[in-house]
Chain A
């Protein structure tokens, strides 16, 4: 049976909470492999940043390590329907991709065309590519729960 560590934070809204989240996670995971810590901190921060950008001011976050799986969960309400559709399509594209590194490179190529305009749309790709997490989501009315899961083996 794997160890179980659960960290739960509630966020009011503010962007500088991201820094606080990163510091707390670095501290909580300090006995883990540095590569895993970096990947988890980046992925958690990207998910929360997305939730802040596209969601409501109330965001819940949790991180659990159980049965050799590390799961990050972020939930928020009130995502605009267009943003929600775009998010779902983006996750589906990442999940279906056989080479997420190629997706990352493709997105960088697109950004070269006009790096200062439009959404970055790199965060979820980085979570899958750099963080090696598997992305998923569940929708319950206006609540969207996004999870990123990675095996510890």
Chain B
């Protein structure tokens, strides 16, 4: 599975067990349907039934369209039975505020778990 490199965002896929999908940089897509959502769809197809960590620790910015794409990722990975742990950086206020509600929403999904972590020094 190839990495995504578009504008200021890189999504790096490491084929480990669990598969690590790291979002790095800034995601300001105004039309996620053009690049981001199709890529997420390919991730869903590629890793059906596997275990994955989706790591947002190094994401420095996202717009609200990206939030929707993350919701799409959660829903799709759940449908594809991808046992997924979503990690966000709770040391960053904006990530804590944006991702914390996903922790409770994650309970709606059988295969999705959302965890806040402190950034390492």
Residues of A whose CB lies within 8 Å of any CB of B are: 15, 18-19, 22, 35, 38-39, 41-42, 45-46, 49, 52-53, 101, 104-105, 108-109, 111-112, 115-116, 120, 122-123, 126, 129-130
B15 at the A interface (CB under 8 A): no
Instruction: Given A19-B7, A120-B65, answer yes or no on A108-B102 (Cβ-Cβ < 8 Å).
Output: yes
Nearest CB of A to B28, in Å: 6
Nearest CB of A to B25, in Å: 11
State whether A111 touches B71 (Cβ < 8 A).
Answer: yes
State whether A18 touches B64 (Cβ < 8 A).
Answer: no
Q: Is the interface of A mostly helix, strand, loop or mixed?
A: helix
9 pairs of A and B residues whose beta carbons are closest in the complex: A122-B64, A115-B72, A123-B64, A105-B101, A130-B97, A115-B71, A35-B93, A38-B94, A15-B30
Report the number of A-B residue pairs with Cβ-Cβ less than 8 Å.
Answer: 75
Contacts of B37 in A (CB 8 A): 116
If A35-B94, A41-B61, A108-B67 are given as contacts, then 9 extra A-B residue pairs at C-beta distance below 8 Å, sorted by A number, are A46-B63, A108-B71, A108-B102, A111-B71, A112-B105, A115-B68, A115-B71, A116-B72, A126-B67
Instruction: Given A116-B33, A126-B98, answer yes or no on A111-B104 (Cβ-Cβ < 8 Å).
Output: no
State whether B63 touches A112 (Cβ < 8 A).
Answer: no
Residues of B whose CB lies within 8 Å of any CB of A are: 7-8, 26, 28, 30, 33, 37, 61, 63-65, 67-69, 71-72, 74-75, 92-94, 97-98, 101-102, 104-105, 108
Partner of B94, one of A15, A39, A46, A122: A39
Contacts of B65 in A (CB 8 A): 49, 120
A122–B63 CA distance with the chains assembled, in angstroms:
9
Nearest CB of A to B3, in Å: 20
A131–B26 CA distance with the chains assembled, in angstroms:
17
State whether A129 touches B97 (Cβ < 8 A).
Answer: yes
Nearest CB of B to A125, in Å: 8
